[in-house]
Structure 1
Amino acid sequence: MSENNLSVPLSLLDLAQVGPGETVRESLDHSIALAQLADAAGYRRLWYAEHHNMSAIASAAPAVLIARMGAATERIRLGAGGVMLPNHSPLAIAEQFGTLAELYPGRIDLGLGRAPGGDQATFAALRRSPQASDQFPSDVVELQNYLRGNPQQSGVVATPGAGTDVPLYILGSSLFGAQLAAYLGLPYAFASHFAPAALERAIALYRSEFRPAQADQGGLTEPHLIVAAGVIAADDPARAEQQLHHTKLQRAKLLFGRNPKMSDEEGEALLAGPAGRQVDEMLRCSAVGTPDQVRERLQLFADQTEADELILAPMATDRELWLGTVSALAPEAARTR
């Protein structure tokens, strides 16, 4: 089997989606299978994103998922893509990810976002203030100091956590995240797999305003840009397109349907209107088709954005094709047969 021939490393984002007719347990079993496949196939990292109050997504607790996946894998980096920091205290996150870093040395990442990861009612249920996101920049610095073991005015030390130097990544889909990542000299990951509108402007801002910072291991940091893309790869291009349509249908029902039990017929009506155009724009940075077609599209995307790394979000609702996509695009010849 041949290599993927892409010029940049490939990573994966698993949303731990609960598919139609699946239980949460079944969804998480699929995520374990994906982690083991990605580990064997040579993907650089595998991330999980924090979401709340969403019946179709089972990744409410990324640290718990990472702990389970660490036990099921051997070499792949595991992390949050990301933890929504306004939902938590920096100390609690430092302790959680410090624990993970001690359990799986050299394999843990921590991506940080400032969105609540749910609606306002969820934010209230988490006992967080609506103004918590305003403290995001200072919370990132506080968290970084805990992980580096730098003295705090309070005298509080993160144990575990201090001295683990878990790598931080700023996530975003707007100019705010790009500016903060540049200011702090941190890597930046753009959520172009579902919110690509500001992609080009955010990249330009990040590149132009990046300020090197002191790296954990000495020296200065350099820009590192990760961009995300949705992917569906199948030997039969018609099957890939059919799965793309089904993905759009589920996305429209989830985001724009007022009835949680909306029928597919009602969802099709949504796709035929303005909601469908919004879904098309959300999935603009997607690569769908045969494995060769997908790799060609991904290489073009990497060239256009000058990305240092691509993080792929498998979109197929068919679990066989979901895993098959990851196998078909594997960075190494160790693809699952």
Structure 2
Amino acid sequence: MKFAVSISMERFSPDDSMQDAVNNFRTLARIADEGGFETLWTAEHHTIECTISPNPFTVLTWLAQHTDRIRLGTATLVAPYWSPIRLAGEAALCDHLTGGRLEFGIARGAYQYEFDRMAGGIPQQEGVAFMKELVPAVQKLWAGDYAHDGHYWKFPVATSVPKPLQQPHPRIWVAARDPGTFDWAIGIGANILSTPLSSPPAEVGVLGEKFRKALADHPERPRPRLMMQRRTCVYDRQEDWEVAVRHSVDYGRYFENLMQNIGTVTNGFPEAVPFEAVANRANYNPQAVRDNLMFGTPDEVIEKLQVYEDAGVDQYCLGLSFNLPFELQVKTLRLFIDEVMPHFAARDRDRARDHAQTAPRRAAVGH
């Protein structure tokens, strides 16, 4: 299992400095790069200060100048906000400007608040139909001349300019939770981005089973990768859990505002809705949050990660952007790099050694 990090620039008060948000974001990216994380993911959002990323391609191009090795991914682009020609060209240019490090992640979108302002007020559930038309069109534009006559977009013969640096194109990742999206994504050769949100650990296994079912239904496709993301905070002492839980619960109330469009947003800052308005209120119980999310000491986190590996997760992604204080974001990365990742790296080396030692015996038996 490899490791990734999802971060965004964020402000939760007009008193928070935008320059601090930029500097903190860059610092976290450098730590992740130097620490050996496989991928850095960042989102697309509009008109809300708690996730500042109106164009993730711009952000990733900038980050490429401050990092050396880490892959740079969009998690995620929001399909209804784009046209195929523009998306194909901007993604391909970003691939060049990042030196071929782009990972192309896309989703239907989540926040109804944004859809009311960016997509003509369509229900956010309709975003999946946009995505299913958009992604194949982008793939064809990357390949060469292509004319499109679809439900949402129509255009005469055109092509992506430039073409991607990675050939035939950057890896495509689709955000999925329902079986239909898993099936469609794997059917087009995409990888899967998923999250159990705040659900109990059993949901990790449920999502893993949806992935395996879609694989079995598409034997013609090589096995893609499965990434899973959770809010993550690693701390030295068990008693430090309350800080992480408090910030996660507060952030959830902002999320409910934007997802359900049930609160107010003033000058880009959403209010935290009352608990009475929160859906799935049981998931906001402090003990449930502590147990369900990736909160814990390094030893506790290693134990929790086994659930993900057992479910077939190829890349676990630390979700750090939930108004967690910057110093705790840094500490989480440092502890994960110093104490969690070495555990998995050592185990992988042991497995590789054991495999190398048994391979000659297997070959001899087969002979």
Aligned partner (choices 128, 136, 141) of residue 131 of structure 2 = 136
- Contact 1:86–1:128 under 8 Å retained in 2: no
Q: Equivalent residue for 2:231?
A: 230
Where structure 2 has 5 or more consecutive residues not aligned to the other structure, the ranges are: 148-155, 344-367
Aligned-residue offset at 1:10: 0.5
Alignment of 1:146 with 2:146, yes or no, is: no
Whole-angstrom CA distance in 1 between matches of 2:38 and 2:192: 16
Alignment of 1:324 with 2:328, yes or no, is: no
- Contact 1:252–1:279 under 8 Å retained in 2: no
Q: Which amino acid aligns with 2:293?
A: S
> How is 1:258-273 mapped onto 2 (pairs within 5 angstroms)?
258=263, 270=275
Aligned partner (choices 59, 71, 74) of residue 77 of structure 1 = 71
Whole-angstrom CA distance in 2 between matches of 1:114 and 1:282: 26
The 1:168/1:189 distance shift into structure 2, 3 A limit, reads same
- Return the index of the structure with the highest Cα Rg: 2
Aligned partner (choices 122, 126, 149) of residue 118 of structure 2 = 126
Aligned-residue offset at 1:289: 1.8
What percent identity do the matched residue pairs reach? 19
Aligned-residue offset at 1:253: 4.7
Alignment of 1:174 with 2:174, yes or no, is: no
The 1:49/1:273 distance shift into structure 2, 3 A limit, reads closer
> How is 1:189-200 mapped onto 2 (pairs within 5 angstroms)?
189-194=193-198, 200=205
Structure possessing the higher relative contact order (Cα contacts under 8 Å, 6 or more residues apart): 1
Whole-angstrom CA distance in 1 between matches of 2:207 and 2:198: 15
TM-score normalised to the size of structure 1?
Answer: 0.81
Whole-angstrom CA distance in 2 between matches of 1:84 and 1:283: 30
Whole-angstrom CA distance in 2 between matches of 1:316 and 1:36: 19
Whole-angstrom CA distance in 2 between matches of 1:221 and 1:279: 39
Q: Equivalent residue for 1:286?
A: 293
The 1:283/1:22 distance shift into structure 2, 3 A limit, reads farther
Aligned partner (choices 319, 332, 336) of residue 313 of structure 1 = 319
The 1:272/1:232 distance shift into structure 2, 3 A limit, reads farther
Aligned-residue offset at 1:252: 2.0
The 1:323/1:142 distance shift into structure 2, 3 A limit, reads same
Q: Equivalent residue for 1:186?
A: 190
Aligned-residue offset at 1:105: 2.5
Aligned-residue offset at 1:160: 1.4
SS across alignment from 1:221: coil
Whole-angstrom CA distance in 2 between matches of 1:177 and 1:332: 34
Alignment of 1:277 with 2:282, yes or no, is: yes
Aligned-residue offset at 1:293: 1.5
Aligned partner (choices 42, 46, 54) of residue 48 of structure 1 = 42
Aligned-residue offset at 1:316: 6.2
The 1:320/1:162 distance shift into structure 2, 3 A limit, reads closer
Q: Deviation string for 1:285-333 (max 9, x for gaps)?
A: 4121212211221223322x22111111125622111111011112369
Q: Equivalent residue for 1:246?
A: 247
Moved over 6 A (4+): 195-198, 266-269, 271-275, 281-284
Q: Equivalent residue for 1:94?
A: 88
Structure with bigger helix share is 2
Q: Deviation string for 1:190-233 (max 9, x for gaps)?
A: 122457796544432332233256xxxxxx63131111122111
SS across alignment from 1:155: strand
Alignment of 1:159 with 2:136, yes or no, is: no
The 1:285/1:84 distance shift into structure 2, 3 A limit, reads farther
